[in-house]
Chain A
Amino acid sequence: MFIRSATTENVIQSVSRFAPAEDQVFLVMLGERNSVSIPEMTAGLNRRGISFFGGIFPGVIYGAEYFDDGALIIEMPMLHKPAIVTGLASNMGLLPEISSAPEDVDFKYTALLLVDGLSEGISPFIQDLFDRYGNVVNYLGGGAGSLTLRQAPCLFSNEGFFQDAAIVAFVRLKSALGVKHGWQKHAGPLVATRTHGNVINELNWENAFEIYQNIVESSSGRTLTPDNFFSISKGYPFGIMKEGAEDIVRDPITVNRENEIVCVGEVPENAVLNVLKSSKSELVEAAGKAAEQCLEQCGTGEHFQGLVFDCISRVLYLEDDFTDELTAIKGRINGRYPEAEVAGVLSLGEISSYGDGYLELFNKTAVVGLLYR
């Protein structure tokens, strides 16, 4: 269910309108310009005994459109009550014990994973999660937060309103996943010879900004400075090379005082990087392919729900053409499942099992999921 202009009341009313069901949980995703008081909403839903979890994102996707004040409400059957993990940045984000492990169930279900997209320590957290549960479930999720890039409480559940946290919800739904970004190698390889978390200190044993600047300036014909950094760098992300797959994109968003490049997401030291580049049409096409990839993996079932985590930086890059990307996704999914609702969020980082392999945090990527029973 989509609400165009979300308020506390209409969210509570909408949720309340669903027929109660056993092990029911609601995923509530809000555009950041909503008019919802999270504490009041939480109190209202708690009073009604409704289980819920969700986050505030730069925007919500509904069909082929996106809104920064809307609300998306999806009812799901839960395997376990959503688990809150706090203190990601301090690496103290310990996973709570879950009474019965998901591997005990009959099918490969889905773990929905929402994180504070502006937290440090997201990568170690999802690695720990993967270490504990492996590929017994499909993982799908993304980073919540504000486009202002100022960290604030952005995740909520029956237990409260959280910052620097993650929510893991194991739901009794099957899923098919497609991950594509469409960014192509422009220059490389570059070795991130010294990094610290999401900061690249050195590239090829030299100052990271200087190396990156040379590449970007020669391609764009524009002078790259710390001041205009993001307006240009949004078209030249880094790609962490991976065998037999698309590079994992890391979005360079700013330059610090030491002329070091700050990215969204961790860049491992000694990672071999490419500088990527793409055209708008390639990105739109990639999003469509992500949807196709998702459909390829989809088995038989019913009550299909499209759930998209599309990076906000793609909106910033594609601008008005971004709706083409959403149209491409919606078109592919509704082409096979006309009844399926296609919805999602504009996220700060995307999370998905990458095919059958390693769990990754992506940037500038379109992650398309189909949830079904």
Chain B
Amino acid sequence: MINDYFSDIANEVSILYEISLSIGRSVNLRENCEFFVKTLLAKKGLTYASIWVKDRCLGGAPDSEGCSLVFAHPEFYVREKTLPLSHPQFTVLTGKPYFTCSSEDGAFGACVTEKGMDKGAMALFSLGDIGFLKLYSTAREKSFEKRQLNQLRHVLAKFTVSLEGCLAHERSLREIEERKEAERLLQVSQSMLEVRVKARTAELEESRLRLSSILDTIGEAIVVSKVSGEIQSCNRSCLDLYGFSENELQGRNLLELFPPEERRLLISGLQNIHEKGEIHYFSESLRKDGSMFPVEVTASLMKGAATVSPPVVVVLKDITESRKLEEELRRAHKLESLGVLAGGIAHDFNNLLAGIMGNVSLEKQLTDPGDRKYRRLENIEKAAERARDLTHQLLTFSKGGEPVKKTTSIEQIIMDSASFVLRGSNVRCEFVIPDSVWPVEVDEGQMNQVFNNLIINADQAMPNGGRITIRMDNLQAVPTEIPGMKAGKCVKISVSDHGVGISEENLQKIFDPYFTTKERGSGLGLAIVYSIIKNHGGYIGVETVIGQGTTFHVFIPASVRELPAADDAGRTPVAGSGKVLVMDDEAILREVACELLGHLGYSTVACNDGAEAVSLYREALMNKEPFFAVIVDLTIPGGMGGKETMKKLLELDSGVRCVVSSGYCNDPILAHYREYGFSGVVVKPYNMSALGRVLNEFHDKSPRR
């Protein structure tokens, strides 16, 4: 018996030993419980065991009154996973290390929180201040024996300590996890920040490049400098304008971009920029090569700069071209004013001259050329012709005055001009002409005036003789390089002398009307040249070096047409025959015209307005005695003028030969007479030769029109 007793004890100790060794196999709470509970169940032949831990030990609030199931086996029986500490399952243990009952006891039902446990015995153990262990044996009919419970109490005390270790470990893990999570969040936040900074930096860089690109495309020079003037950066245009490289310009002072005499304004402007906010003025600026140019200076403090002393943004605008344009405009206005005045008196003046010239022309026919009277008549005629030329020159200024253009060779006009002007001069002319100069569309008379004036000026610039070089070139006009010209083919004519040159001061005024440095000059020569070239859609520029000479460059658009066959028309009056109807409101002119035509061999009928002319023409047609030609005055005050008359005549006779005549030599109808139905034009004042020539063309080109 004794041996059996000790043998049983030895068995129990062995089992308790094995159960004890299953404690603390892992610091993981669940694994520790699993090892322990499964060994306990296997060794003790129990049905079910569960371990409950107070929530406050599981990271819950310190005043938490709940308890949670942390492990159960078999899990199949589990129904409740959390219970309040006030549940009978726990309260039955108040003040006791363990509690047991069987299904026969009243407490059993209150303590059972598992499913399917309706028989057997239950035991509850306190696990210190941590929680509880619950055991079931469905094989037992009675409660657990005190001896069995006491055996387990000591094992469970050890298990409780291991649980404390597990919970402490879990706390540490939680803290580590929390710290890791915090670090992770910090890293995420840092990464996000880095991404944002990177994106923002890229945006800023893109914005900077865009801004830089915009600044580089701006034509004005933009300089960023300190208030002291020290240059910090600049745009591409600035480098192009001043001829510096970026390295050369950086660190220089803004003042170095201005000549010493112009620096004062900039210095005072920069000194006061904080108060004024912006400075703006016009000045002369200095390139790296020492050349000067006019500049518009605008400087302001950089807006939005984060520093106490924000930099200054200086915009330097090269106004050379705008100055030129302003000058052009001013000149054009001046000429236009003069033109208005000239246009107002030219017609009357021309009519007067027509009377004078006509009569002189007739009187010359009646006078012996050896007679002294004949010479006086010639002098009168020459004076009248100069008066006519002056009138024409004045009319050239008139707005809307269009040249009567035809396709011609500028080369011939210029050579004729040079030959005419330099006859008897000690200045000789040298031509540099390419093989084929493009034809131009010009008014020959006006072009004669242009080159007469330019060659006269060149001749006069070299009183002691010398050489004039006239150079012609075909080139493609680029509007940005030749102001006022359309893009396309053009002919450039350069007239150079080696004279005294033109002073800077005078250079600005040479194209002004009535400006002259000559004692007996009219001051209209270059003004007319300017006006004619402009009316031809061309451009005139000048280069001069004092003491070395002057070159005028004339640009004239090239014609798209080919040159016509050579004109053989002579200046000798050409006789003809036939009946000519003359219409003019001025009786003197009618009379003179009829007499001139009579001398040329024509019979004439005169009338003083268009209505009468139409009536006479109709009558002649009906009588089958038609007029050979009709000469009509363009402007009839208070009556039917030339334009309306032409329409009516065309209605009567589509083959009518009608010549338009006017003292308004700049009237567009004269330039484009064919568009209005006229067959020819004769500008007042005219002489016999001019009349003979225009009518003679009708003889050559019959049938009519």
Q: Is A230 an interface residue (CB 8 A)?
A: no
Q: Which of B482-541 contact A (CB under 8 A)?
A: none
Knowing A271-B18, A357-B45 touch, does A133 contact B74 (C-beta < 8 A)? yes
Total residue contacts A-B, CB cutoff 8 A: 82
Q: How far is the CA of A134 from the CA of B48 in the complex (A)?
A: 9
Determine if B475 is an interface residue (Cβ-Cβ < 8 Å). Answer: no
**Please, which residues of chain A bring their CB within 8 A of the CB of B12?**
243
* B14 contacts across to A, CB distance below 8 A: 188-189, 191, 241, 272
Q: A243-B12, A272-B14, A272-B18 are in contact. Are A357 and B137 (CB under 8 A)?
A: yes
CA distance A314 to B84 in the complex (A): 53
Is the Cβ of A356 less than 8 Å from the Cβ of B18?
A: no
Question: What 1/0 mask marks residues of chain A from 107 to 120 whose CB sits below 8 Å from any chain B CB?
Answer: 00000000000000
Kindly provide the distance from the CB of A205 to the nearest chain B CB, expressed in whole angstroms: 13
Which residue of the partner chain, among A127, A136, A242, A271, contacts B38 with CB atoms under 8 Å?
A127
A130 within 8 A of B: yes
Whether B74 contacts A130 by the Cβ 8 Å rule is yes
Q: A103-B116, A272-B15 are known contacts. Are A243 and B43 too (CB-CB below 8 A)? A: yes
Q: How far is the CB of B581 from chain A (nearest CB, A)?
A: 125
In A37-89, which residues have CB < 8 Å from any B CB?
A: none
Task: Report the Cα distance A189→B12, complex, angstroms.
Answer: 11
How far apart are B502's CB and chain A's nearest CB, in angstroms?
Answer: 108
**In the bound complex, do residue A243 and residue B45 qualify as a contact, i.e. CB atoms below 8 Å apart?**
yes
CB distance from B146 to the nearest CB of A (A): 16
Task: Check A18 for interface membership: any CB of B closer than 8 A.
Answer: no
Contact call B116/A270, Cβ cutoff below 8 A: no
Whether B39 contacts A358 by the Cβ 8 Å rule is no
Quick check: is B599 within 8 A (CB to CB) of the other chain? no
CB distance from B314 to the nearest CB of A (A): 80
- A355, closest chain B residue (CB): B139
Question: Within 8 Å of chain B (Cβ to Cβ): is A131?
Answer: yes
Please tell me if the beta carbons of B45 and A358 are within 8 angstroms of each other in the complex: yes
- The answer to whether B41 touches A358 (Cβ under 8 A) is yes
Please, which residues of chain B bring their CB within 8 A of the CB of A188? 14
**In the bound complex, how far is the Cα of B75 from the Cα of A271, in angstroms?**
24
List, in ascending order, chain A residues with CB within 8 A of B11's CB: 189, 241, 243
**Contact across chains for A134 and B42 when beta carbons are under 8 A apart:** no
- Residues in B neighbouring A244, C-beta threshold 8 A: 45
Q: How far is the CB of B499 from chain A (nearest CB, A)?
A: 113
Q: How far is the CB of B529 from chain A (nearest CB, A)?
A: 108
Q: Which A-chain residue is minimally distant from B38 (CB atoms)?
A: A127
A189 touches B10 (CB 8 A): yes
Question: How many angstroms from the CA of A97 to the CA of B283 in the assembled complex?
Answer: 95
Is A243 within 8 A of B116, CB to CB?
Answer: no
Closest A residue to B42 by beta carbon equals A358
A355 to B45, CA, bound (A): 9
* A331 → B minimal CB distance (Å): 28
CA distance A134 to B17 in the complex (A): 26
State whether the Cβ of A19 lies closer than 8 Å to any Cβ in chain B.
Answer: no
Contacts of A355 in B (CB 8 A): 45, 139
**Inter-subunit contact A243/B17 (CB<8 Å):** no
Q: Does B252 make an interface contact (CB < 8 A)?
A: no
- A358 to B49, alpha carbons, bound, how many Å? 11
- In whole Å, how far is B598's beta carbon from the nearest beta carbon of chain A? 136
| Closest chain A residue to B44, Cβ basis | A243
A356 touches B74 (CB 8 A): no
- Is A225 part of the contact surface with B, judged by Cβ < 8 Å? no
Interface size on B, residues (CB 8 A): 30
Complex CA distance for A189 and B39, rounded to whole angstroms: 17
In chain A, positions 337-360 with a C-beta closer than 8 Å to chain B are 354-358, 360
Cα separation A270 to B15 with both chains bound (whole Å): 10
- Known A131-B73, A189-B10; judge A241-B47 contact (CB<8 A): no
Encoded as 1 (CB less than 8 Å from any B CB) or 0, chain A from 259 to 285 comes to 000000000101110000000000000
Task: State in angstroms the CA–CA spacing of A242 and B138 once bound together.
Answer: 17
A123-155 interface with B by 8 A CB criterion: 127, 130-136
Candidates A134, A191, A242; contact of B77 at CB < 8 Å: A134
Beyond A134-B48, A270-B22, A356-B138, whether A191 also contacts B17 by CB under 8 A is yes
Q: Does residue B377 face the partner (Cβ distance < 8 Å to A)? A: no
User: Any chain B CB within 8 A of the CB of A245?
Assistant: yes
Shortest beta-carbon distance, A50 to chain B, in Å? Answer: 32
Q: Is B46 an interface residue (CB 8 A)?
A: yes
Set of chain A residues within 8 Å of B41, measured between Cβ atoms? 357-358
A135 and B47 within 8 A (CB):
yes
Kindly list chain A residues whose C-beta atoms are within 8 Å of the C-beta of B22. 270
Given known A241-B11, A243-B43, A355-B45, contact A134–B21 (CB-CB < 8 A): no
Residue of A nearest to B12 (CB): A243
In contact, A131 and B74 (Cβ under 8 angstroms): yes
- B20 nearest in chain A by CB position: A270
Question: Residues of A contacting B76 with CB < 8 Å?
Answer: 103, 130-134, 136
A132-B74, A355-B45 known; A243-B138 Cβ under 8 A: no
Complex Cα spacing A292 to B8, Å: 26
CB distance A268 to B74 under 8 Å?
no
Q: Are A242 and B21 in contact (CB under 8 A)?
A: no
Q: Which residues 1-26 of B have a CB within 8 angstroms of A?
A: 10-12, 14-15, 17-18, 21-22
For window 185-244 of A, CB contacts with B under 8 Å fall at 188-189, 191, 241-244
Within 8 A of A (CB), among B67-88: 73-77
Chain B nearest CB, measured from A132 CB (Å):
6
Chain B: CB-nearest residue to A127:
B38
List, in ascending order, chain A residues with CB within 8 A of B48's CB.
134
Q: Are A132 and B45 in contact (CB under 8 A)?
A: no
Once bound together, how far apart are the Cα atoms of A270 and B25, in whole Å? 11
Complex alpha-carbon distance, A133 and B41, angstroms? 16
In the assembled complex, the Cα of A189 lies from the Cα of B14 at a distance in Å of 7
Chain A residues with Cβ below 8 Å from B17 are 191, 270, 272
| Residues in B neighbouring A270, C-beta threshold 8 A | 17-18, 21-22
- Residues from chain B with a CB closer than 8 A to the CB of A134 are 47-48, 74, 76-77, 116
Residue of B nearest to A354 (CB): B45
Chain A contacts for B73, CB-based, 8 A: 131
Contacts of A133 on B, CB cut-off 8 Å?
74, 76
B17, B74, B116, most chain A CB atoms within 10 A: B74
Closest to A192 in B: B18
**Is B139 within 8 A of A357, CB to CB?**
yes
Chain B residues within an 8 Å CB radius of A358? 41-42, 45-47
CA distance A135 to B77 in the complex (A): 9
In the bound complex, residues from chain A placing their C-beta under 8 Å from that of B115 are 103
* Chain B residues, CB < 8 A from A131: 73-76
Complexed CA–CA distance, A103 and B12 (Å): 35
- State which residues 122-173 of B face A: CB under 8 Å: 137-139
Q: Shortest Cβ distance from B147 into chain A, in angstroms?
A: 12
Residues of A close to B138: CB separation below 8 A: 135, 356
For the complex, give the distance between the alpha carbons of A134 and B42 in Å.
14
Looking at the assembled complex, report how far the CB atom of B117 sits from the nearest CB atom of chain A, in whole angstroms: 10
The answer for the CA separation of A89 and B45 in the assembled complex, in Å, is: 26
B10, B43, B47, B139: which contacts A242 (Cβ < 8 A)? B43
Chain B residues whose CB sits within 8 angstroms of the CB of A245 once the complex forms: 45
Residues of B within 8 A of A360 (CB): 42
Nearest Cβ on chain B to A51's Cβ, whole angstroms: 26
A residues less than 8 Å from B120 (CB atoms): 356
Which of B18, B21, B44, B120 counts the most A-chain CB atoms under 10 A from its CB? B18
Give chain A nearest CB distance to B134 CB in angstroms: 15
Whole-angstrom distance between the Cβ of A266 and the nearest chain B Cβ: 11
Selected A-B contacts with CB under 8 Å, 13 pairs: A103-B116, A127-B38, A130-B74, A132-B75, A133-B74, A133-B76, A134-B47, A191-B14, A241-B18, A243-B15, A270-B21, A270-B22, A356-B47
**11 additional contacts, CB 8 Å, given A134-B77, A241-B43?**
A135-B138, A191-B18, A241-B15, A268-B42, A270-B22, A272-B17, A355-B139, A356-B120, A357-B45, A357-B137, A358-B46
- Give the 9 A-B CB pairs with smallest separation, nearest first: A134-B76, A272-B14, A270-B21, A356-B139, A134-B74, A357-B45, A131-B74, A189-B14, A272-B18
Give the interface of B toward A (CB within 8 A): 10-12, 14-15, 17-18, 21-22, 38-39, 41-48, 73-77, 115-116, 120, 137-139
